[in-house]
Structure 1
């Protein structure tokens, strides 16, 4: 079964920059770190991630954010903190921007992502190995934008999150089938995507 979310109207009240956290210690060790028990206090940015952010901020080419919301995992918090310090703006943790929960695969090698994505391509509601479904991720991620659109106007929001949730949200906002989220080009660490 495939689910298609209706894309958000192109005339949004706010502008949105979607940012994947910088290269992390979990990336360096090729581990799946997706639960608050591990992700909130450990596996922050790697040296490579710190260098990525330094380069990104030195050559910033996007609108300057007026607000920064971020997943409360350590790697996203550290990423958001660096951007916030650079521009002198406050941070707001947003748990709905957290990593996709990979259930029983927590702490295993990241090669297990491929198994999950194979199931995703068949059924966006699957929960194999206790993994959070694609449909659930899409709903919570889109919920962040929906609530911001309702509450605010004329802001430039930087949303700092994780690779899988961002790819799923972008797929949903484009109105594509959620089973196709891995068909998008992978978002690189410390990359920024501006919503049209």
Structure 2
């Protein structure tokens, strides 16, 4: 059974903060791009992959250029679709509905939004299609948590406990085989 390292990086600080940004395609600050570039220094990867949303692709393009690579864009690494809540601050959303969502995002998705299991399925498929080589994926907090669920089996309540600030990097060791599995080997903000 072969093992490889997968780095998951959350995009840099978006142009809009404090909002439910799932499919919202907002930009990223220059400082956010610089933070991602700094975090990627010294990573031994041969492939850079990114969500197709600008806040991730712009960071991936800068990191890939530093590593003399070309980023590959994969929309399966997008954030959870927040439906009618897209772009809203949490204070503008019904408190009870938001609480039900955080308690069980599969049973209580945002109105017109995506269920947690749909995010897990698409991220799981993206992981399954990764080549067996060290890679960096520039993505979103929800997709990173979905990857932790897929590879390490963390249940949802534990996943919310992971602090994944903008430009943070999560390093996972992945063992390929009939039952792909992973182990966290590092997390740095």
Say whether the fold is shared (TM-score over 0.5): yes
Q: CA deviation at 1:52?
A: 1.4
Report the Cα distance in structure 1 between the residues aligned to 2:166 and 2:53, rounded to whole angstroms: 15
Please name the residue that 1:135 is paired with: 117
1:40-189 matched pairs, under 5 angstroms: 43-57=26-40, 60-62=41-43, 64-111=44-91, 112=93, 116=98, 118-122=100-104, 124-148=106-130, 152-153=131-132, 155-182=133-160, 184-189=161-166
Change (3 A) 1:55 1:14: closer
Q: Do the aligned residues in 2 keep the contact of 1:65 with 1:158 (CA within 8 Å)?
A: yes
Q: 1:15 to 1:117 in 2, by over 3 A?
A: farther
Task: For 1:146 and 1:117, locate their aligned partners in 2 and report how far apart those are by CA, in whole Å.
Answer: 32
Compute the displacement of 1:121 (Å): 2.3
Structure 2, gaps ≥5 residues long: 174-189
Given that residues 45 and 78 in structure 1 are in contact (C-alpha distance below 8 angstroms), is that contact kept between their aligned partners in structure 2? yes
Q: Does 1:32 align with 2:12?
A: no
Asked whether the equivalents of residues 85 and 110 of structure 2 are also in contact (C-alpha less than 8 Å), the reply is no
Residues in 2 aligned to 1:144 and 1:113: alpha-carbon distance in whole angstroms: 33
Look up the SS of the partner of 1:100 in the other structure: coil
Say which structure is richer in strand: 2
- 1:140-191 Cα distance to aligned partner (Å, 9 max, x none): 111111122xxx33x1111111012212321332212235421x32211111
Q: TM-score, normalised by structure 1?
A: 0.76
Higher relative contact order (CA 8 A, sep 6+): 1
**Normalised by the size of structure 2, how large is the TM-score?**
0.79
Other-structure match for 2:170: 193
Gaps in structure 1 of 5+ consecutive residues = 1-10
Q: In the alignment, which residue of structure 2 is the partner of 1:8? A: none
Decide which structure has greater helix share.
Answer: 1
Number of aligned residues = 171
1:12/1:113 Cα in 2 relative to 1: closer, same or farther (>3 Å)?
farther
Aligned twin of 1:7 = none
